[in-house]
Protein backbone atom coordinates (compact mmCIF):
# COMPACT_ATOMS: atom_id res chain seq x y z
CA UNK A 1 0.00 0.00 0.00
CA UNK A 2 1.33 3.44 -0.88
CA UNK A 3 1.47 5.56 2.20
CA UNK A 4 3.24 8.66 0.90
CA UNK A 5 0.85 11.56 0.63
CA UNK A 6 0.96 13.71 -2.56
CA UNK A 7 1.25 16.82 -0.38
CA UNK A 8 4.63 15.68 0.85
CA UNK A 9 6.03 15.17 -2.65
CA UNK A 10 7.05 18.72 -3.65
CA UNK A 11 8.97 19.11 -0.40
CA UNK A 12 11.19 16.24 -1.40
CA UNK A 13 12.28 17.73 -4.76
CA UNK A 14 15.97 18.64 -4.41
CA UNK A 15 16.95 22.28 -4.96
CA UNK A 16 19.05 21.43 -8.06
CA UNK A 17 16.02 19.82 -9.71
CA UNK A 18 13.96 23.01 -9.23
CA UNK A 19 16.84 25.08 -10.56
CA UNK A 20 17.39 22.93 -13.63
CA UNK A 21 13.63 22.81 -14.19
CA UNK A 22 13.53 26.60 -14.27
CA UNK A 23 16.51 26.67 -16.56
CA UNK A 24 14.69 24.31 -18.90
CA UNK A 25 11.61 26.55 -18.93
CA UNK A 26 13.72 29.62 -19.66
CA UNK A 27 15.70 27.78 -22.34
CA UNK A 28 12.47 26.57 -23.96
CA UNK A 29 11.03 30.07 -23.93
CA UNK A 30 14.21 31.48 -25.45
CA UNK A 31 14.31 28.78 -28.10
CA UNK A 32 10.76 29.48 -29.18
CA UNK A 33 11.44 33.24 -29.22
CA UNK A 34 14.48 32.78 -31.42
CA UNK A 35 12.55 30.39 -33.67
CA UNK A 36 9.99 33.14 -34.15
CA UNK A 37 12.71 35.69 -34.91
CA UNK A 38 14.19 33.19 -37.37
CA UNK A 39 10.97 33.01 -39.41
CA UNK A 40 11.15 34.75 -42.76
CA UNK A 41 9.91 38.33 -42.40
CA UNK A 42 6.28 38.88 -43.40
CA UNK A 43 6.25 38.80 -47.19
CA UNK A 44 3.89 41.73 -47.53
CA UNK A 45 4.81 44.16 -50.24
CA UNK A 46 3.28 46.88 -52.34
CA UNK A 47 2.73 46.08 -55.97
CA UNK A 48 1.98 48.10 -59.07
CA UNK A 49 -0.23 46.57 -61.72
CA UNK A 50 -0.43 48.01 -65.21
CA UNK A 51 -3.42 46.84 -67.19
CA UNK A 52 -5.00 47.54 -70.54
CA UNK A 53 -8.38 46.01 -71.28
CA UNK A 54 -10.92 45.90 -74.04
CA UNK A 55 -13.10 47.03 -72.39
CA UNK A 56 -13.08 46.90 -68.59
CA UNK A 57 -11.50 45.01 -65.69
CA UNK A 58 -11.37 44.64 -61.92
CA UNK A 59 -8.18 43.53 -60.19
CA UNK A 60 -8.08 41.09 -57.26
CA UNK A 61 -5.25 40.02 -54.95
CA UNK A 62 -5.62 37.01 -52.66
CA UNK A 63 -9.39 37.15 -52.80
CA UNK A 64 -9.72 40.89 -52.31
CA UNK A 65 -10.68 43.45 -54.92
CA UNK A 66 -7.83 45.96 -55.02
CA UNK A 67 -8.84 48.16 -57.93
CA UNK A 68 -10.73 48.51 -61.15
CA UNK A 69 -10.70 50.31 -64.46
CA UNK A 70 -11.86 53.83 -63.63
CA UNK A 71 -13.51 54.33 -67.00
CA UNK A 72 -17.00 52.78 -66.88
CA UNK A 73 -17.61 50.02 -69.37
CA UNK A 74 -20.60 51.91 -70.72
CA UNK A 75 -18.31 54.66 -72.00
CA UNK A 76 -18.23 54.54 -75.79
CA UNK A 77 -14.83 53.17 -76.84
CA UNK A 78 -13.61 52.77 -73.26
CA UNK A 79 -10.06 51.86 -74.21
CA UNK A 80 -7.58 52.99 -71.63
CA UNK A 81 -4.68 51.72 -69.60
CA UNK A 82 -4.75 51.76 -65.82
CA UNK A 83 -2.10 51.70 -63.12
CA UNK A 84 -3.12 50.30 -59.74
CA UNK A 85 -0.98 50.13 -56.61
CA UNK A 86 -1.96 47.65 -53.91
CA UNK A 87 -0.58 45.86 -50.87
CA UNK A 88 -0.63 42.09 -50.55
CA UNK A 89 1.39 39.12 -49.34
CA UNK A 90 3.05 36.17 -51.00
CA UNK A 91 2.00 33.66 -52.09
CA UNK A 92 0.11 36.11 -54.27
CA UNK A 93 -2.87 35.06 -56.33
CA UNK A 94 -3.67 37.76 -58.87
CA UNK A 95 -7.15 37.78 -60.38
CA UNK A 96 -8.67 39.78 -63.19
CA UNK A 97 -12.35 40.03 -63.99
CA UNK A 98 -12.41 41.22 -67.58
CA UNK A 99 -15.46 42.40 -69.49
CA UNK A 100 -15.98 43.02 -73.14
CA UNK A 101 -18.65 45.64 -73.65
CA UNK A 102 -22.03 44.39 -74.76
CA UNK A 103 -25.06 46.57 -75.04
CA UNK A 104 -27.27 44.00 -73.36
CA UNK A 105 -27.57 40.24 -72.81
CA UNK A 106 -27.62 39.70 -76.57
CA UNK A 107 -23.82 40.09 -76.61
CA UNK A 108 -24.04 42.66 -79.41
CA UNK A 109 -23.08 46.31 -79.57
CA UNK A 110 -24.09 49.26 -81.73
CA UNK A 111 -27.49 47.62 -81.95
CA UNK A 112 -29.77 49.13 -84.56
CA UNK A 113 -26.92 50.90 -86.37
CA UNK A 114 -25.01 49.85 -89.47
CA UNK A 115 -22.19 48.91 -87.09
CA UNK A 116 -24.24 46.30 -85.17
CA UNK A 117 -21.69 43.62 -84.27
CA UNK A 118 -20.54 41.06 -81.73
CA UNK A 119 -17.37 42.89 -80.67
CA UNK A 120 -14.37 41.37 -78.96
CA UNK A 121 -12.35 41.49 -75.76
CA UNK A 122 -8.70 41.22 -74.76
CA UNK A 123 -6.59 42.17 -71.75
CA UNK A 124 -2.91 42.50 -70.88
CA UNK A 125 -1.35 43.08 -67.47
CA UNK A 126 2.01 43.22 -65.76
CA UNK A 127 2.64 43.42 -62.02
CA UNK A 128 5.75 44.79 -60.33
CA UNK A 129 6.89 44.27 -56.73
CA UNK A 130 7.75 47.78 -55.61
CA UNK A 131 10.21 46.51 -52.99
CA UNK A 132 12.48 44.95 -55.59
CA UNK A 133 11.32 46.81 -58.68
CA UNK A 134 11.02 43.47 -60.43
CA UNK A 135 8.11 42.39 -62.61
CA UNK A 136 6.71 39.38 -60.77
CA UNK A 137 3.86 38.49 -63.10
CA UNK A 138 2.69 39.09 -66.65
CA UNK A 139 -0.39 37.80 -68.41
CA UNK A 140 0.38 34.83 -70.63
CA UNK A 141 -0.87 31.37 -71.53
CA UNK A 142 0.00 29.99 -68.10
CA UNK A 143 -2.86 31.97 -66.54
CA UNK A 144 -6.12 30.17 -65.90
CA UNK A 145 -9.42 31.41 -67.20
CA UNK A 146 -13.10 30.80 -66.51
CA UNK A 147 -15.88 32.12 -68.73
CA UNK A 148 -18.74 33.74 -66.80
CA UNK A 149 -20.77 35.20 -69.61
CA UNK A 150 -21.10 34.10 -73.20
CA UNK A 151 -23.28 35.70 -75.87
CA UNK A 152 -24.54 35.30 -78.42
CA UNK A 153 -24.54 31.50 -78.38
CA UNK A 154 -25.99 31.72 -81.89
CA UNK A 155 -23.75 34.22 -83.69
CA UNK A 156 -26.07 34.29 -86.71
CA UNK A 157 -28.32 36.56 -84.65
CA UNK A 158 -25.81 39.35 -85.29
CA UNK A 159 -27.98 40.55 -88.17
CA UNK A 160 -31.23 40.32 -86.20
CA UNK A 161 -33.41 43.38 -85.95
CA UNK A 162 -34.42 42.19 -82.47
CA UNK A 163 -31.24 40.80 -80.88
CA UNK A 164 -32.56 40.74 -77.30
CA UNK A 165 -35.13 38.20 -78.45
CA UNK A 166 -33.11 36.32 -81.05
CA UNK A 167 -29.67 36.11 -79.39
CA UNK A 168 -29.12 33.42 -76.77
CA UNK A 169 -26.71 33.79 -73.87
CA UNK A 170 -25.35 31.91 -70.88
CA UNK A 171 -24.09 33.36 -67.61
CA UNK A 172 -22.73 31.90 -64.39
CA UNK A 173 -21.71 33.75 -61.24
CA UNK A 174 -18.08 33.91 -60.17
CA UNK A 175 -17.24 31.06 -57.77
CA UNK A 176 -16.83 32.32 -54.19
CA UNK A 177 -13.18 32.99 -53.37
CA UNK A 178 -12.11 32.43 -56.97
CA UNK A 179 -9.05 34.67 -56.56
CA UNK A 180 -7.89 33.25 -53.22
CA UNK A 181 -4.79 31.11 -52.86
CA UNK A 182 -5.63 27.49 -53.51
CA UNK A 183 -9.05 28.20 -55.06
CA UNK A 184 -10.60 25.35 -57.02
CA UNK A 185 -9.56 25.08 -60.66
CA UNK A 186 -12.62 23.04 -61.59
CA UNK A 187 -13.88 24.22 -64.97
CA UNK A 188 -10.94 26.57 -65.47
CA UNK A 189 -8.84 26.38 -68.63
CA UNK A 190 -5.55 27.78 -69.82
CA UNK A 191 -5.81 31.35 -71.07
CA UNK A 192 -5.44 31.90 -74.81
CA UNK A 193 -2.84 34.35 -76.09
CA UNK A 194 -3.70 36.86 -78.83
CA UNK A 195 -1.67 39.28 -80.90
CA UNK A 196 -2.22 43.03 -80.72
CA UNK A 197 -3.68 42.80 -84.24
CA UNK A 198 -6.18 40.10 -83.23
CA UNK A 199 -7.38 42.19 -80.31
CA UNK A 200 -7.15 45.41 -82.27
CA UNK A 201 -5.37 47.30 -79.50
CA UNK A 202 -6.35 50.92 -79.20
CA UNK A 203 -5.96 54.01 -77.05
CA UNK A 204 -3.91 53.53 -73.92
CA UNK A 205 -2.17 50.34 -75.00
CA UNK A 206 0.88 52.20 -76.29
CA UNK A 207 1.06 54.36 -73.15
CA UNK A 208 2.66 51.50 -71.24
CA UNK A 209 6.04 49.92 -71.87
CA UNK A 210 5.07 46.27 -71.84
CA UNK A 211 7.45 43.58 -70.70
CA UNK A 212 8.10 41.52 -73.85
CA UNK A 213 6.75 38.49 -71.96
CA UNK A 214 3.40 40.16 -71.25
CA UNK A 215 0.75 38.91 -73.66
CA UNK A 216 -2.80 39.83 -74.55
CA UNK A 217 -5.03 37.08 -73.20
CA UNK A 218 -8.67 36.03 -73.03
CA UNK A 219 -10.59 32.79 -73.00
CA UNK A 220 -10.52 30.65 -76.17
CA UNK A 221 -13.23 32.82 -77.77
CA UNK A 222 -12.32 36.47 -78.09
CA UNK A 223 -15.71 37.39 -79.56
CA UNK A 224 -18.41 35.36 -77.86
CA UNK A 225 -17.00 35.22 -74.31
CA UNK A 226 -17.87 38.57 -72.80
CA UNK A 227 -17.02 38.27 -69.12
CA UNK A 228 -14.04 36.14 -68.15
CA UNK A 229 -12.02 35.55 -64.99
CA UNK A 230 -8.26 35.22 -65.24
CA UNK A 231 -5.84 34.35 -62.50
CA UNK A 232 -2.34 33.23 -61.65
CA UNK A 233 -0.34 32.56 -58.48
CA UNK A 234 3.07 33.90 -57.62
CA UNK A 235 5.31 32.31 -54.98
CA UNK A 236 7.37 34.39 -52.58
CA UNK A 237 10.62 35.51 -54.25
CA1 LIG B 1 -14.89 45.14 -76.99
CA of 51 to the centre of ligand 1 (A): 15
Helix (H) or strand (E) run with residue 138 in it: strand 134-138
**CA pair distance 216, 199, nearest whole angstrom:** 8
Output phi, psi for 54, to 5 deg.
-110, 95
CA of 118 to the centre of ligand 1 (A): 8
At 9, is the secondary structure helix, strand, or coil? coil
Residues with CB under 5 A from ligand 1 (ion): 54-55, 100-101, 119
CA of 199 to the centre of ligand 1 (A): 9
| Per-residue pLDDT tens listing for the chain (237 residues) | 444 444 444 444 445 544 554 454 444 444 444 444 455 555 899 999 999 999 999 999 999 999 999 888 887 677 789 999 999 999 999 999 999 999 999 999 999 999 999 999 999 999 999 999 999 999 999 999 999 999 999 999 999 999 999 999 999 999 999 999 999 999 999 999 999 999 999 989 999 999 999 999 999 999 999 999 999 999 998
CA of 33 to the centre of ligand 1 (A): 56
DSSP letters along 75-95, please? STT--EEEEEEEEEESSEEEE
- Can you give the pLDDT at residue 101? 93
CA of 104 to the centre of ligand 1 (A): 13
CA of 120 to the centre of ligand 1 (A): 4
- Can you give the pLDDT at residue 31? 42
CA of 200 to the centre of ligand 1 (A): 9
Which residues, 6 or more positions from 47, have their beta carbon under 8 angstroms from its beta carbon?
61, 85, 86, 87, 88, 92, 127, 128, 129, 130, 136
CA of 226 to the centre of ligand 1 (A): 8
- Can you give the pLDDT at residue 62? 98
Cβ(218)–Cβ(122) below 8 Å: yes
The 10 Å CB-count burial string (b at 16+, else e) for 88-108 is bebebbbbbbbbbbbbebbbb
Q: CA dihedral defined by 132, 92, 63, 57, rounded to 10 degrees?
A: 60
At 227, is the secondary structure helix, strand, or coil? strand
CA of 32 to the centre of ligand 1 (A): 56
CA of 49 to the centre of ligand 1 (A): 21
Cβ(140)–Cβ(183) below 8 Å: no
Cβ(200)–Cβ(148) below 8 Å: no
- Can you give the pLDDT at residue 42? 56
**CA pair distance 17, 150, nearest whole angstrom:** 75
CA of 188 to the centre of ligand 1 (A): 22
Q: Is 190 exposed, middle or buried (0-12, 13-18, 19+ CB in 10 A)?
A: middle
Q: Considering the entire predicted model, what is its pTM? A: 0.81
CA of 55 to the centre of ligand 1 (A): 5
Amino acid sequence: MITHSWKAWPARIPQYAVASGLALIVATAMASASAEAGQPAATTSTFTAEVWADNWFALYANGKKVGEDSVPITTERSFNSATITFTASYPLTIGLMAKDYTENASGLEYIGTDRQQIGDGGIIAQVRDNKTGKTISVTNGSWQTLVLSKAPLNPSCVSSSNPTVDCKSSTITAPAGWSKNGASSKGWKSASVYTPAQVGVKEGYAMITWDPAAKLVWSSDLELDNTVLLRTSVKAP
